[in-house]
Chain A
């Protein structure tokens, strides 16, 4: 196993020990749950953006779909949790396929706008169908995922720790899948699409197919995060899925390092822990985040995960491969290049 992989595996193993390390302190466990959930969301964006090179603003919408669908099915339609979660994920995939169907043949910029429009649409739907979703005032999600046994653990979801286990398990699975994907035939095709769409096409990569797959996968991850989030927070409302969340998400990934697996986790951790530690006044938090985002994008586009590689190069050692110190398989795309190659002739 290469060093990066080893580190990754060790890290994941350690992740499962976190609650023990924190001696089950409820506050710290709570933070861990948030980190895990946000990391899952960040991973979702990473798959479509870091790997496949398509910047999307729809992830928060998928999060919203996941949260609301699960909650509505359980609370209003008396479904049991896990089937509801499954349906929520399926709905997210369907939405992603729909969006992809008509926007992937266009340049990346169009896609970005469409994802934004989609996000707005979802929020609009939620706000305007109060009978179903509780409207702008939100929807209580006071239910509990059905418990089950997993090895030595008995999960009842009565306490935060159980949420941590499930979130981390999903995150670990997601990271693993993404890692495998990146090094596989499909993943390489996605990387090709990210690096140079025209060249990729010239060697036979069906851009639409690969972008669609990436987008669908990413939507599942986000929807799952949403499905976990709803019962954990016991309350969801449209304001939780708006512009702030979007900025938060982008910030996490950009600062952590787009295109790297380490970046997903680092970014999520940073932006869950930092606000708690610094207690930055809520009213200027958004502005501060925006400023950080701008600075990082301009000066450190590869994020923190790119720092090792940066140092590597500065110290003049072996001409680096694709940067990304902690990454394992995913190429650090910097912030993925969306070449606005005009679709020369529409096909």
Chain B
């Protein structure tokens, strides 16, 4: 189940990396903001799902602003983009810390209790989260594949110049893509929040996992991100069960290393022309 969240995060990251060649570390912050946004809305009485959607929207908007203001000027030099994103993490985290304090918060799960599935006790909320993420992933994939905008995004990701020559408004596509990526991150955050308590630092680890996921799946490939996400989630769970669970996070890295050794372009790297 964690795999599905990883997939979500990975998808979001692919959106930004695939297009902008920017490793946006601040992606994790979008996740965090999504969690907080949903939290406040829920506290104000809005039911979970709509709250999540609104939070997604808000974060998407923020994503557009971030892209316009911060990433666009450094588009020429990907490393600078990376550094900018690191700076952003610092700033956003700090703001969140000051605004909301470091004490953990959580969102009440919509489903309480557990159910027995083949001898294993499964928490219902986790199933719900899994369900929602799957729905989101499916929706997103369909969108990418069939809608005009989705096609534009894919075209721009493959070859920006050619896309521009064909009349696709690449700049706007990039902004939209960033927005979508951020929205996905926000969703991940909101969902995560129903399962675990969160604080301003919650974004850090998932982002790293997200990067592992997209490397596994091949940078720039949405399908790969999905596969990678699930692969990571499952292997982590297995590993944690078999060996010490303290090293659960370490599995991600081990897998990363293995993957890089074996198949450097990832499971499903798309063909990219420059």
Contact = CB atoms under 8 A, between A and B. Distances in A.
A–B direct touch in complex (beta carbons closer than 8 A)? yes
A338 B79 contact: yes
A125 B256 CA distance: 17
B128 interface: no
A105 B219 contact: no
B80 A117 contact: no
A341 B272 CA distance: 10
Contacts of B265: 342-343, 346
Interface in B229-274: 246-247, 249-250, 252-253, 256-257, 260-261, 264-265, 272, 274
Given A110-B260, A335-B80, A287 B215 contact: no
A110 B220 CA distance: 13
Given A114-B260, A117-B253, A340 B78 contact: yes
A297 B208 CA distance: 23
A334 B80 CA distance: 9
Contact of B250 (A106, A108, A121, A243): A121
Contacts of B21: 109, 340
Contacts of A289: 87, 90
Contacts of B215: 110, 113
Contacts of B40: none
Interface stretch (B45-53, B94-102, B105-113): B94-102
B147 interface: no
Interface in A271-311: 283-284, 286-294, 297-298, 301
B208 A117 contact: yes
Given A106-B260, A298-B73, A286 B78 contact: no
A250 B84 CA distance: 11
A346 B73 contact: no
Q: How large is the interface on B (under 10, 10 to 19, 20 to 34, 35 or more residues)?
A: 35 or more
A155 interface: no
Contacts of B77: 301, 334-335, 337-338
A106 B264 contact: yes
B91 interface: yes
A288 B97 CA distance: 13
Most buried by A among B83, B94, B249: B83
Interface of B is mostly: helix
Nearest to A53: B79
Given A113-B23, A335-B79, A294 B253 contact: no
Interface residues of A, number: 48
Contacts of A243: 89-90, 204
Nearest to A57: B86
B197 to A, nearest CB: 19
A342 B250 contact: no
Interface string A303-340: 00000000000000000000000000000001111111
Contacts of A117: 208, 211-212, 252-253, 256
Given A117-B253, A290-B86, A293-B86, A284 B260 contact: no
A124 interface: yes
Contacts of B211: 113, 116-117
Contact of A124 (B88, B250, B272): B250
A247 interface: yes
Interface in A117-134: 117-118, 120-121, 124, 128
Contacts of A301: 74, 77, 80
Given A106-B264, A284-B98, A286-B93, A120 B83 contact: no
Contact of A298 (B74, B246, B250): B74
Contacts of B196: none
A102 interface: yes
A288 B94 CA distance: 9
B192 to A, nearest CB: 19
B94 to A, nearest CB: 3
B143 interface: no
A341 B274 contact: yes
Contacts of A110: 215, 219, 260, 264
A118 B208 CA distance: 11
23 contacts: A102-B257, A105-B264, A109-B23, A113-B211, A116-B208, A116-B211, A117-B208, A120-B208, A120-B249, A246-B86, A284-B94, A289-B90, A293-B83, A293-B86, A293-B87, A297-B74, A301-B77, A335-B80, A337-B78, A340-B78, A341-B274, A343-B265, A346-B265
Interface of A: 55, 102-103, 105-106, 108-110, 112-114, 116-118, 120-121, 124, 128, 243, 246-247, 250, 254, 283-284, 286-294, 297-298, 301, 334-343, 346
Given A128-B246, A293-B87, 9 more contacts: A109-B23, A109-B78, A117-B211, A287-B91, A290-B88, A294-B88, A297-B83, A337-B77, A342-B272
The 7 closest A-B pairs by CB, nearest first: A290-B90, A287-B94, A293-B87, A290-B91, A294-B87, A290-B87, A338-B79
